Amino acid sequence: MSENNRPSLACIGHIERRILVIRGHRVIVDADLAALYGTTTKSLNQAVRRNRGRFPGDFVFQLTEDEKIEVVTNCDHLKNLRFSSTLPFAFTEHGAIMAASVLNKPLAVEVSVYVVRAFVRLREMLTANAELARKLEKLEHRLELHSGKLTDHDEAITAVLSAIRELMTPPEPPKKRRIGFIQDD
């Protein structure tokens, strides 16, 4: 953490990698939040249970067994959750702030600022991406209006727009291969 209260990009980047999208919400799993706040997952979850009124459903929710399996499968750093008998909790941005306040640890309060900045930075990146998509769509529409009389320059712009669209589209996840011997008939 830096002296002049500016967020360390390395710290925010580390936190951003811990933010997942579950049920359409950007969240941090309890194990990651506890590690960031310098406490155990058990202590964090006990503090949440003791202060249940401060954690409505839009602040924290418990994962289902299927969601837990998916998180463990997709996040190597959470592989230890596979052996946990309890289902993890997922904290939204507001839940993470509230968790820092109920833990009442100086490190949790300090790190919660970086957690909020990480959520804000992700939100800004998504907004910028949406704004870029809107501008590209407007430009494509303008080119389509003149499609009968496109110049070489217009065709080049269309090609660039197409390439940008491809870069903005997330790649499809690789198909899982079945393990074992497969016999061809």
Confidence of residue 149 (pLDDT cuts 50, 70, 90): low
Residue partners of 41: CB distance under 8 A and separation at least 6: 30, 31, 34, 88
**Hey, where are the domains in the chain?**
9-123, 125-168
* Distance between CA atoms of residues 120 and 97, nearest Å: 13
pLDDT digits (tens, 9 = 90+) for 95-128: 999 999 999 888 888 888 888 888 888 878 777 7
User: In this structure, is the dihedral angle defined by the CA atoms of residues 37, 41, 42 and 45, taken in order, positive or negative?
Assistant: positive
Confidence of residue 92 (pLDDT cuts 50, 70, 90): very high
pLDDT recorded at residue 178: 63
Please tell me the least confidently modeled range out of 8-12, 70-74, 93-97, 141-145. 8-12
pLDDT digits (tens, 9 = 90+) for 14-53: 888 888 888 888 899 999 999 999 999 999 999 999 999 9
